[in-house]
Chain A
Amino acid sequence: MARHIVATVDEIAPGQRRVVSVNGREIGIFNVDGEYFAVGNRCPHEGASLCKGRVVGLVEASEPGAYQYSRRGELIRCPWHGWEFDLRTGKSWCEPDRTKVRSYELKVEPGGALVEGELRAETFPVSIEKQYIVVEV
């Protein structure tokens, strides 16, 4: 496992996403209201590019006619068959015990720490004053 700098925080606005390539793997980085999540860009059901799907919340009903909408922006819905995956855990809403999309450790770190540490950026010049998104793959 190695850590990779994939973006600066200001490159992905809240509600936005970016697909990055790390060691040949496509990984989607999502900003959900200032929290960042990283999941693979391949739906484990039939292989669609998952990160092209819509980001949605959770619609539930305690009984017919009573609806709650929660977890706004925390689920990604596959662009083909509509399978929903939890951006926090990678678990699918269809088959939570059986099917998940790979999720990755992700941290936001200041440039100062990265420049001093082992992680001199491979593709990016790191400046000390910025905040960077770092994914562990």
Chain B
Amino acid sequence: MSTIEMERSPPAKYRLRVIDCDIHPAMTSWTEVHPYLEKRWIEHLSVYGSHLRHAFSEALSHPRMSPDAARIDAYPDEGGPPGSSLELMRKQHLDPNGVQVGMLIPLRWNPGSQRNLDFGAALTRAMNTWQVERWVKQEARLRASVLVAQEDTEAAVAEIDARGGDPNFTQILILPRTDEPLGRRRYWPIYEAAVRNNLPITIHVGGTNGHPSTGGGWPSYYMEEHHAVAQTMQAVLTSLVFEGVFERFPKLRVVIMEGGLGWIPSLSARMDKHWSRLRSEVPHLKRPPSEYVRENVWFSTQPMEEPGSAAELIDLFDRIGWDRLLFSTDYPHWDFDDPRYAFKANLSEAQRDQLLYANSSKFYGLG
């Protein structure tokens, strides 16, 4: 086996052309959102703070590998958390990595899981405007995501309809650890609004519903929780399929973001097997589950499994479908994927461009 040493040059002398579907912006201070938040809620925040189904609303349930779950080199010199400096984001990521378009995925404060539904809805409105004013208007390469308070369907639908015609927004963001599995009918008006506004639903790892983060209970180690994202995404995907969401909304497009890739072929095969035997339980499904996955669902690449052989990775992409993969980096988080090295296989230039750029360009209707 050959030994890899440092100082190898980039794998090919190509010009990087990247669409990054997963960039996490942060606020230097929460007062950044005040201009977009009604006075009533600014006061609410100062008196009561944020209230999630979580022991400490501003604490993570595990230390995430490094403070702020971030690359150690992503802290701005001028202070503030990683992801809060547009200048550093440009210098460290957008410019050197050839990012043509970057999608913002704000995670902190999690408006969708706020117990106070009115506060959650107000936060989504404020944070959506914040994304446009603070980021997209300052940097033409960035796009916002429509945050929604998914437990208050009416408010979520109103926000989707309000933002739907605005080209600054490319997707609707929901964190998958919702109060109930996302296929449940209480969430269907959101999918209807998504189709009506021609926006995909992006389901990015996270959420604080108070349920244990794994099907087996609360884990001891961050490493266990990090693996549990695949369980969560499997639960979401089976729920969407078996509840009949894709049957009811055949034009709905869903992105599973930051949930890993390796499990997708086996889950599809398992769902098909069970459906062929137990289909009378879900007679509303007209087709094998894998067909809905193949037609309605896309997957972001990071964090990718890194199997020992490149052939395994290629085989995995063949099974998922190369056109279903959307490149993402997770900047500025610790498990950031560099577009030069993320795919540990010899890809043709066309394959590389498809994964890094063309799929997302087509999917999001860019360019």
Smallest Cβ-Cβ distance to B71: which chain A residue? A80
Interface centre among B5, B336, B340, by most A CB within 10 Å?
A: B5
Given A52-B72, A54-B72, answer yes or no on A102-B65 (Cβ-Cβ < 8 Å): no
Q: How far is the CA of A41 from the CA of B6 in the complex (A)?
A: 8
Report yes or no: A43 in contact with B6, Cβ–Cβ below 8 A.
yes
Report yes or no: B338 in contact with A46, Cβ–Cβ below 8 A.
yes
Report yes or no: A44 in contact with B73, Cβ–Cβ below 8 A.
no
Chain B neighbourhood of A47, CB < 8 A:
338, 340-341
**Which B332-356 residues sit within 8 Å CB-CB of chain A?**
334-338, 340-342
Least Cβ distance of A76 to chain B in Å? 12
Q: How far is the CA of A88 from the CA of B28 in the complex (A)?
A: 40
Given A52-B73, A54-B72, A79-B71, answer yes or no on A100-B4 (Cβ-Cβ < 8 Å): yes
Least Cβ distance of B359 to chain A in Å? 21
Report yes or no: B71 in contact with A44, Cβ–Cβ below 8 A.
no
> Is residue A82 contacting chain B, with contact meaning CB distance below 8 A?
yes
**Of B2, B5, B334, which is within 8 A of A80 by CB?**
B334
> Is residue A19 contacting chain B, with contact meaning CB distance below 8 A?
no
> Is residue B40 contacting chain A, with contact meaning CB distance below 8 A?
no
Report yes or no: B335 in contact with A81, Cβ–Cβ below 8 A.
yes
Q: How far is the CA of A79 from the CA of B5 in the complex (A)?
A: 18
Report yes or no: B72 in contact with A53, Cβ–Cβ below 8 A.
yes
Q: How far is the CA of A39 from the CA of B5 in the complex (A)?
A: 11
Q: How far is the CA of A58 from the CA of B104 in the complex (A)?
A: 37
> Is residue A73 contacting chain B, with contact meaning CB distance below 8 A?
no
**Of A54, A79, A80, A101, which is within 8 A of B6 by CB?**
A101
Given A47-B341, A81-B335, answer yes or no on A25-B72 (Cβ-Cβ < 8 Å): no
Report yes or no: B5 in contact with A101, Cβ–Cβ below 8 A.
yes
Interface centre among A40, A46, A48, A90, by most B CB within 10 Å?
A: A46
**Of B7, B65, B73, which is within 8 A of A40 by CB?**
B7
Contact residues of A: prevailing secondary structure: loop
Number of A-B contacts (CB under 8 A): 66
Q: How far is the CA of A56 from the CA of B154 in the complex (A)?
A: 51
Q: How far is the CA of A108 from the CA of B6 in the complex (A)?
A: 24
Least Cβ distance of B60 to chain A in Å? 17
Q: How far is the CA of A41 from the CA of B3 in the complex (A)?
A: 17
> Is residue B1 contacting chain A, with contact meaning CB distance below 8 A?
yes
Report yes or no: B71 in contact with A46, Cβ–Cβ below 8 A.
no
Chain A neighbourhood of B73, CB < 8 A:
48-49, 52, 79-80
Chain B neighbourhood of A48, CB < 8 A:
71, 73, 338
> Is residue B8 contacting chain A, with contact meaning CB distance below 8 A?
yes
Least Cβ distance of A9 to chain B in Å? 25
Chain B neighbourhood of A101, CB < 8 A:
5-6
Report yes or no: A102 in contact with B6, Cβ–Cβ below 8 A.
yes
Q: How far is the CA of A42 from the CA of B334 in the complex (A)?
A: 16
Given A44-B8, A46-B337, answer yes or no on A99-B3 (Cβ-Cβ < 8 Å): yes
Q: How far is the CA of A100 from the CA of B5 in the complex (A)?
A: 5
Smallest Cβ-Cβ distance to A82: which chain B residue? B65
**Which B66-95 residues sit within 8 Å CB-CB of chain A?**
66, 71-73
5 extra interface residue pairs, beta carbon distance < 8 Å, beyond A80-B335, A80-B336: A45-B341, A46-B340, A54-B72, A98-B2, A98-B3
A to B CB contacts below 8 Å, 25 in the list: A25-B7, A40-B6, A42-B7, A43-B6, A44-B5, A44-B8, A46-B337, A49-B73, A53-B72, A54-B72, A80-B72, A80-B336, A81-B334, A81-B336, A82-B334, A90-B5, A97-B1, A99-B4, A100-B3, A100-B4, A100-B6, A101-B5, A101-B6, A102-B5, A102-B7
